[in-house]
A and B are shown apart, each in its own frame.
Chain A
Amino acid sequence: MALFEKIFIRKEKGGVIVEPFKEEESENVNNAIIVLEEALKMVKLPIKAIDVWTETGVVMFIFDKPRIYGGITKEKLELDSLHESLIQEIKSLEREKETVEKEKKIPKEKFEKVKELLHDYVGGFADVLYENQIKLAGINLEDATESDFLKFLNKLQAAISMIIGFTRSREVIKEIKEQVLKE
């Protein structure tokens, strides 16, 4: 089990990431941080961290201006290494989020364009083939990534190869892909 049952990050431009995310909790954490920040404005000492022990565990805040890191753990012992563990967990969470965020999004229109082009090669089969492959690939057109798009094209190639043959299907998909992605 992870050491921290909840971690949160107050970003540079405001807003809070809470992991695991729950909308209501996220709002509460954001409010808690605002209260704490207001209090800190009145304190003359430069504060680096505040750790609060409760009956159930520890809630910790690390101030790394303008960011604030936080976590809640059930570990009640006053281990010197808790801050280090929290920073490590947050870094690994940020790396994960960065990977997801960095992946290029493919707008719905690009998928529509594939359907349109598909008509030139397979005629009346185009719509059915398109809908089936979107469904089989489990793609949400409102939030599709580049890897979703490539997965969809692979499935589409397999499907149209039954109609126009394997070699031709490869050429067709290559042409469609180039045409759609260059726009």
Chain B
Amino acid sequence: MRPEEIIERLKRAYGKGIVNIVVLNEEGETLDKLGETNFNILVDTVATIGSVVGIVARKVGAGEPKYFRITTEEGREIWVIIIDGYMVGVEGMGLKGEALLRIIKGEEQWFEPTTDVEILLDREIQQLNFMIQEFSEGNPEPWVKFAYEHLVNYLPSLKDYIKMEKDRIYAIYPLALGITQKDIASAFRVLLEVMWKRGVEIYGAQKVREKLKKVLEKVK
């Protein structure tokens, strides 16, 4: 993997969400960079801390580092991914190490959540799938389509990340940086209300309450 490939992959995944990227070798020499701000300070910081992080992690009994995050007093976050003899320093808002590592390795999407927002989305989807299962009474497809359409209609930024199968909805990651926990929570609140109303139209309030009780038991 060449340094310019690393930068290209990150740029493709995050676009303007990334402020700075520096690719250093193990000696702390700059191989490639992208961005605008003062690179010398960033390079020094990544190289200096990167040179001791392995020793520190091993001494405290935590093993070999995969990546680390430096947080400054002004709230800057610099992620440093250690891979194939490179130290890749990446600065931007809302970035996460596991996603950066996977993107640098060349993975474009995956199915396990790695961030707070993704964990919330995963939990909401799990609950929604239980609801679909319970409400559909053996014929989930129309319910899956109904839920999908309402969800992406309410939160269009999710459209690229939400997928359908015959009997369930699932998500692919990483999510775009701008999607927040608040967005996810309010989209699903609205969706569950719509599902509830549709259920009442079909089965009546009493039966829907019983179905929801079963969903809640599964969610526990």
Q: A39-B51, A43-B45, A78-B114 are in contact. Are A52 and B59 (CB under 8 A)?
A: no
Q: How many residues of B contact A (CB 8 A)?
A: 35
Among A26-34, A102-110, A120-128, A168-176, the stretch that binds chain B is A26-34
Query: Which one of A28, A43, A47, A49 contacts B60 once the chains associate, using CB atoms below 8 Å?
Result: A28
B98 interface residue per 8 A CB criterion: yes
Does B19 reach chain A (CB closer than 8 Å)? no
CB proximity of B157 to chain A, nearest CB, Å: 20
Total contacts A to B, CB within 8 angstroms?
Answer: 111
**Residue in A42, A55, A72, A79 whose CB lies within 8 Å of B48:** A42
Which residues between 11 and 58 of chain A lie within 8 Å of chain B, taking CB atoms?
25, 28-29, 31-32, 35-36, 38-40, 42-58
* B115:A56 contact, CB within 8 angstroms: no
Residues from chain B with a CB closer than 8 A to the CB of A46 are 72-74
Closest partner residue, chain A, to B119 (CB atom): A77
Question: Binary interface profile of A, 121-156, with partner B (CB < 8 Å = 1, else 0)?
Answer: 000000000000000000000000000000000000
Interface of A is mostly: mixed
A113 is an interface residue with CB less than 8 A from chain B: no
Contacts of A90 in B (CB 8 A): none
* Residues on the A chain within 8 Å of B73, using CB: 46-48
- CB contacts under 8 Å to A, within B39-66, are 41, 44-45, 48-49, 51-53, 55-57, 59-66
> Taking the complex as formed, is B92 at the interface, i.e. its CB lies under 8 A from any CB of chain A?
no
* B53 touching A44, Cβ below 8 Å: no
Closest to A49 in B: B71
Residues of A with C-beta under 8 A to B45? 43-45, 47
Per-residue contact bits, chain B 70-82, to A (CB 8 Å; 1 contact, 0 not): 1111101000000
Size of the A side of the interface (Cβ < 8 Å), in residues, is 36
Task: Beyond A32-B60, A42-B44, A49-B70, list 13 extra A-B contacts (CB 8 Å).
Answer: A25-B60, A25-B61, A32-B56, A39-B51, A46-B74, A50-B68, A50-B69, A51-B68, A54-B63, A55-B66, A59-B62, A77-B115, A78-B114
A-side residues, CB < 8 A to B, are: 6, 8, 25, 28-29, 31-32, 35-36, 38-40, 42-59, 70, 72, 77-80
A–B Cβ pairs within 8 angstroms, 24 of them: A31-B59, A32-B60, A35-B59, A42-B44, A43-B45, A44-B41, A45-B45, A46-B72, A47-B49, A47-B72, A48-B72, A48-B73, A50-B68, A51-B69, A52-B53, A52-B62, A52-B67, A53-B65, A54-B64, A55-B66, A77-B115, A78-B97, A78-B98, A80-B116
